[in-house]
A and B are shown apart, each in its own frame.
Chain A
Amino acid sequence: MTKLLKTILVAGVLAAFGLPAAAQWPVYPTPNVPHKADGAPDLSAPTPRAADGHPDLTGLWEIYFQSIATAPRNGQPGPSRSQQSPGDGGQLGLTPSTPPTDPKAPPRATFFDIGANIPGGAPYQPWARELRAKRMAANNKDNPDAHCLPMGLMQLHGHPQPRKIVQTPRLIVIMYEGNQGLRQIFTDGRKLPKLDDDLQPWWYGYSVGHWEGDTLVVETVGFRDDVWLDVQGSPLTSKGKMTERWRRTDFGHLEIDVTIDDPTAYTRPFTVRVSHQLTVDQELIEFVCNENEKSSQHYDK
């Protein structure tokens, strides 16, 4: 790229931001990121490994939608997929970088509908199907997130705002920008708690993980009865178990296959896939939902 073109590009980026960089929180480059010749992060570089030899899932991750290749470089934060809606690609004339098709992969869950790509939808028990229909007829206004309550693990998986994974040998912490979700996955060898009536149910349940080769297998139990698996209100109950298989397939991609086993709400266990893509040179932004929540005053009665 010539100097002139570089100048034009920088000017364009500055025009788009229209403000000195100091007006925002400082941009700090993510360390240890392999870059391609054109300066873009090399997302297909090998999977990084932790000191214990396991794949290291640490990083800031976003739902796999737009190619990070559109990000302007030159020390400016790139456009984040979290700022885009699924419709934006077409509107902007961008080519959506949907994950590659894998015929052996489980159907892909969406933020709105966990069973969106399961023929016939998720295998609801009749009461669960009816409940979801009622919730949808009410425009999903009782989604816990719409009232600043935790949205649960599955909505966090599909949320357009980024999440940061911090992996240590005995504990994995995930901080979600979306509604400030916070999750712990214990990898210190402890057992999954037994479900009984004394167990205090949690929005995010209790998660225990172990490695099977390069796959992190996470089992979670102890959910509340009022968790919504998606915006359209697919239920999860306190008898439910979630098993996730996490794989960082290369430097920039994460695949999570989620199995829901909840015979109270579903006629059989079912598995869906969530894909994430690494994002660099940016950080989580504070999101405190109850700062100024006024939308719910206007929800349709």
Chain B
Amino acid sequence: MKAYWMFTAVGLGALLAQGAVSAHHSFAAEFDRSQKVTITGSVTKVEWENPHARFYVDAKDEGSGEIVNWDFELASPNGLMRRGWTRNSMKIGDVVTVEGFRAKNAPHVGNASTVTLASGKKLFAGSSAETEAPPGGAAPPSN
């Protein structure tokens, strides 16, 4: 019995796996690994296109207090699709918290490593914590 639970957990974990490698370009060509960002705001646009899916988030700038529009890069749609995500998994108006890394030469561009909805559900990216969730109890990764 235990073995089957583990099998399911492993299957789910593999499905949720976040591909850290960007096949299109080297991570460091665009992003700074030392510049972590955490942004909370409302999704204004989703571009489910190649070579990277992108989404845009209106969030308050900590310095000026003004609303700025962030541009976040994800993996490519083919990789995301194989994990079960679709172009409708994220919707305009969703309030999300994005953890990621800032681009080297653009202040409001980033690479999204995790995306969490206000409900706590994670979009696109799987973390090691999720893979340890009980089988069947893992948050369904789509809307």
Give me the interface of A with B, judged by CB distance under 8 Å.
1, 5, 8-9, 11-13, 15-19, 23-24, 66, 70-72, 77, 79-80, 82-88, 91-94, 111, 138-141, 143, 145-146, 148, 159-161, 177-179, 231, 282, 285-301
**Given contacts A92-B17, A93-B131, A299 and B78 within 8 Å (CB-CB):** no
Give me the interface of B with A, judged by CB distance under 8 Å.
1, 4, 7-8, 10-21, 23-26, 28-30, 47, 49-52, 54, 71, 73, 76-79, 81-84, 86, 88, 103-106, 109, 128, 131, 135-136, 138, 140-143
In whole angstroms, what is the CA distance A55 to B25 when docked?
35
15 A-B pairs within 8 Å (CB atoms) are namely A9-B8, A15-B140, A82-B78, A82-B79, A83-B83, A93-B13, A139-B29, A145-B24, A145-B25, A146-B26, A282-B82, A289-B51, A295-B30, A295-B51, A298-B109
- CB–CB A298/B4 < 8 A: no
Query: Inside 8 A of A141's CB, which chain B residues have their CB?
Result: 25-26, 29-30
Pick the contact of B15: A11, A24, A79, A85 (CB < 8 A). Answer: A79
Pick the contact of B51: A9, A87, A231, A293 (CB < 8 A). Answer: A293
In whole angstroms, what is the CA distance A17 to B14 when docked?
12
In whole angstroms, what is the CA distance A217 to B142 when docked?
46
Which residue of B is nearest A292, CB measured?
B49
Which residue of B is nearest A94, CB measured?
B10
- CB–CB A291/B23 < 8 A: no
- CB–CB A299/B135 < 8 A: no
Query: How would you classify the secondary structure of chain A's contact residues: helix, strand, loop or mixed?
Result: loop
Which residue of A is nearest B141, CB measured?
A18
Query: Inside 8 A of A18's CB, which chain B residues have their CB?
Result: 84, 140-143
- CB–CB A146/B15 < 8 A: no
**Given contacts A15-B138, A16-B84, A17-B142, A285 and B15 within 8 Å (CB-CB):** no
- CB–CB A94/B105 < 8 A: no
Which residue of B is nearest A160, CB measured?
B23
- CB–CB B15/A16 < 8 A: yes
- CB–CB B105/A16 < 8 A: no
- CB–CB B82/A139 < 8 A: no
**Given contacts A83-B17, A287-B51, A287-B78, A299 and B29 within 8 Å (CB-CB):** yes
Closest CB in chain A relative to B27 CB, distance in Å: 8
Closest CB in chain A relative to B141 CB, distance in Å: 6
- CB–CB B78/A17 < 8 A: no
**Given contacts A1-B4, A94-B10, A161-B78, A294 and B54 within 8 Å (CB-CB):** yes
In whole angstroms, what is the CA distance A88 to B71 when docked?
26
- CB–CB A83/B47 < 8 A: no
In whole angstroms, what is the CA distance A114 to B95 when docked?
43
In whole angstroms, what is the CA distance A23 to B88 when docked?
10
Query: Inside 8 A of B142's CB, which chain A residues have their CB?
Result: 17-19
Query: Inside 8 A of B138's CB, which chain A residues have their CB?
Result: 15-16
- CB–CB B30/A299 < 8 A: yes
Closest CB in chain A relative to B73 CB, distance in Å: 7
Closest CB in chain B relative to A110 CB, distance in Å: 11
Query: Inside 8 A of B28's CB, which chain A residues have their CB?
Result: 139, 300
- CB–CB B14/A66 < 8 A: yes
- CB–CB A24/B81 < 8 A: yes
Closest CB in chain A relative to B82 CB, distance in Å: 5
- CB–CB B11/A70 < 8 A: yes
- CB–CB A298/B136 < 8 A: no
